[in-house]
Structure 1
Amino acid sequence: MVTFNFTRSGKVSFTIWRRVLATAAGRAILPVMTEETSFPRKTVFALTAAGAIPFVALVIAMALLEAPTNSTAALWLQTYAAVILSFLGGIRWGLAFGRPGGSTATFALSVCPALAGWAILPPAIILVPSPNWFLAYAGLFALQLIWDLRSPGVPAGFKPLRFGVSLVVIGALAGAWAVQTWLF
């Protein structure tokens, strides 16, 4: 039902037979591969919104909880930011891998969000704790957003989705900076 083709250059292509898509089971297993839509919009939007909830919830927890629990919420927020930056870099890696002739630079740049996010974490929580690290994370999300919006190889539906959720995430990280600056 799924055919993988290996070329001499080492590239892999695959084809999903139309008969699979015609069955109810095929549509359930492979909802992305239908002709009506390029991706399951409601599901993608719901999952994207769900991914933003921890950013907002942890900032609220930082503001409402007392020490030391509010510091724990700040730690979780910084760790979650590093995880999501890794996820965003993985998306770019996948996009580069899926395009014929993906450039070395794109592959190299796609690991930068993860490396930067995790590189910030030890100094932010151990060496030099400061509210300013939240602004550093916000800056990394802004840079990732700019890269996603300016890249021609990014699917059109991905850009508005990333724009909206990035505003929420950057706003939450700026809010975390404000909470730690004025309420801690």
Structure 2
Amino acid sequence: MPLPTIVRILGYAGLMPFIGLAFMVQLADSPNDLIALESLVAYGAVIVSFLGALHWGACFKTLSESTHNRWLDHSVWIWGIMPALIAWLAIHIFIPLALLLLAATLVVQRVIDQNTYHYYFTSPDAASAFLRMRTHLTVVAALCLIWAGLTSLVRNA
């Protein structure tokens, strides 16, 4: 079962700021490169927070029932806020480190999603399609964050 077109369009369009800002970090002169770095940290933090919130949203359908599943009854609520807390930390630390932290968080989120999203989808095909798209998005976003972070480190060394 393919994902709805709007989901694919919005998902892949969400990569444009990652790609555009990473290029600006590489190509822009000062102070525009710093503005791009700060914007990339902010956008990365928003996306990391959004991905954590997806877990909460998915679990509201079972909010009033006990599933006798540790993930759905307990852990998902804790994990759902962790990315937002990490993102909040990222906007307060050394920018290259923040970008690397956000990239690592995206990858960790994707790994956790691999083991948890089957709880949220009624169709295994839909879960597979969503996780496939998430893999594409995570790889591109994480590479952009890493590239910008390393570029910033090298440029300011």
- TM > 0.5 between the two? yes
Residue in 2 that maps onto 1:43 = 6
- The residue correspondences of 1:20-39 to structure 2 (distance < 5 A) are 39=3
Which residue identity is paired with 1:145? R
Q: Which has the larger radius of gyration?
A: 1
1:120 has 2:90 as partner:
yes
The equivalences for 1:5-16 within 5 A come to none
The alignment status of 1:153 with 2:123, answered yes or no, reads no
Alignment check: 8 A CA contact 2:59 2:120 kept: no
User: Which structure is higher in RCO with an 8 Å CA cutoff and minimum separation 6?
Assistant: 2
Instruction: Please give the residue correspondences for 1:22-101 in structure 2 after superposition, counting only pairs within 5 Å.
Output: 39-40=3-4, 42-99=5-62, 100-101=65-66
1:111 aligned to which of 52, 67, 81: 81
Displacement of 1:45 after TM fit? Answer: 0.9
More strand by share: 1
Question: Where does structure 1 differ by over 6 angstroms across 4 or more consecutive aligned residues?
Answer: none
TM-score (normalised: structure 2): 0.83
Measured in 2, the distance between the counterparts of 1:71 and 1:108 equals: 34
Is the counterpart of residue 134 in structure 1 residue 106 in structure 2?
Answer: no
* Percent identity over paired residues: 27
Q: 5+ residue gaps in structure 1?
A: 1-36, 124-128
Q: Distance in 1 between matches of 2:37 and 2:131?
A: 29
Partner of 1:144: 109
1:43-72 deviations in Å (ceiling 9; x for gaps): 111100111110110010111111111001
For residues 2 and 59 of structure 2, the distance between their equivalents in structure 1, rounded to whole angstroms, comes to 18
The one-character-per-residue Cα deviations of 1:48-102 (angstroms, maximum 9, x if unpaired) are: 0111110110010111111111001000000111101111111111112223534
Higher helix share goes to which structure?
A: 2
CA contact (8 A) 2:38 2:95 kept: no
Aligned to 1:122, the other structure's residue is in SS state coil
Mapped partners of 1:54, 1:109: distance in 2: 26
CA RMSD of aligned residues (A): 1.7
Q: Does the 8 A contact of 2:41 with 2:95 survive in 1?
A: no
SS at structure 2 position matched to 1:131: helix
Once residues 79 and 59 of structure 1 are traced to their aligned partners in structure 2, the CA distance between those partners, rounded to angstroms, is: 13
Query: Paired residues, what number?
Result: 142
